[in-house]
Amino acid sequence: MTALIVVTLLVILTMRLSSKEVFLSKKRKLPIYSVDTKEKKIAITFDASWPQDNTDEIIEILDKYDVKATFFLVGTWIDHNPEKLKTLHEKGHEIGNHTNSHPDMNSISRAELIKEIEEVDSKIKKITGKGTTLFRCPSGVYNDLVIETVERSNRYCIQWDVDSIDWKAEGEEIEYNRVVKKTKPGSIILFHNDGRYTTKTLPRIIEYFKKEGYSMVTVSDLIYKSDFMIDYTGKQIYNK
């Protein structure tokens, strides 16, 4: 009986170890959601996908508070707003790649994704003279193929850990409280340039974090460029 119990325990232990090995070997690739830092630094980002938006007003607000943000642009938005892209660049804001047509990342091939990235990059470069080093997946949808393709293109794949959910237009107070409550050092905050209440909440959010001693920087000024790992939550950690 004792021998049977020992054998049973060994079998269970072996199964658990095997399951753990399978789990580790199939670790999912992740984009950068946030950055591990003790410094009070955060990045404000905007996704620009649709022709109608509040970009001009957003630029005025950022100018007023001397804040630089990162804008992830879709190619079709650039087609309708070339002058706004030019202004963003001239004002010193960072431009990121958000694909050319905002496709479904779960149904796109590697070749199609490369084409999407290169097409919008060409449009950005034509107006600003510079290509992009940052990429954000449409709707935040990604898989291993997408992350690998982006990394091979020598770009950092950027997600977010604080979502204003401004596209739902739930109200100024709800959006403000959501962002203030969830933001911490190293956070990447997501807004949309066409959110109904974004231009109302943005000044309040900037004022709050300035009062709390935070610096608002571009994504490139927040993330580590080398010698880093990404943990299971998507937090980028510097390899000391």
Tell me how many domains the chain contains. 1
pLDDT in the model for residue 12: 44
Listed residue (102, 100, 157, 155) closest to 133, CA to CA: 155
Question: Which residue is catalytic, options 47, 53, 121, 194?
Answer: 47
Domain span holding position 67: 29-238
Listed residue (146, 140, 175) closest to 161, CA to CA: 140
* Amino acid of residue 96: G
What's the token pair of residue 172?
């100024």
For this structure, is 192 an active site residue?
Answer: yes
Question: Is residue 240 predicted with pLDDT exceeding 90?
Answer: no
A 10 A CB-CB count for 208 gives 14
Please give the share of the chain, as a percent, with pLDDT higher than 70: 89
Question: Is residue 25 predicted with pLDDT exceeding 60?
Answer: no
Question: Is residue 21 predicted with pLDDT exceeding 80?
Answer: no
For residues 175 and 165, the answer to whether their CB atoms sit within 8 Å is yes
User: Cα-Cα-Cα-Cα dihedral of 82, 85, 86, 88, to 10°?
Assistant: 160
pLDDT in the model for residue 13: 43
Question: Is residue 53 predicted with pLDDT exceeding 60?
Answer: yes
For this structure, is 47 an active site residue?
Answer: yes
pLDDT in the model for residue 26: 52
pLDDT in the model for residue 175: 98
Question: Which residue is catalytic, options 102, 166, 192, 194?
Answer: 192
Question: Is residue 24 predicted with pLDDT exceeding 70?
Answer: no
pLDDT in tens, 143-200: 999 999 999 999 999 999 999 999 999 999 999 999 999 999 999 999 999 999 999 9
Angle, CA of 230, 233 and 235, to the nearest 5°: 45
Listed residue (92, 37, 90, 45) closest to 193, CA to CA: 45
Average of per-residue pLDDT across 72-96: 98
Q: The CATH number of the domain where 70 resides is what?
A: 3.20.20.370
**Residue of higher predicted confidence among 25 and 161:** 161
Inside any domain, residue 13: no
Inside any domain, residue 2: no
Question: Is residue 9 predicted with pLDDT exceeding 70?
Answer: no
Listed residue (182, 179, 240, 189) closest to 218, CA to CA: 189
pLDDT in tens, 122-153: 999 999 999 999 999 999 999 999 999 999 99
Average of per-residue pLDDT across 45-65: 95
Inside any domain, residue 157: yes
**CA dist., res. 176 & res. 179, Å (int):** 5
Inside any domain, residue 206: yes
Inside any domain, residue 43: yes
pLDDT in the model for residue 52: 78
Inside any domain, residue 19: no
pLDDT in the model for residue 50: 84
Inside any domain, residue 10: no
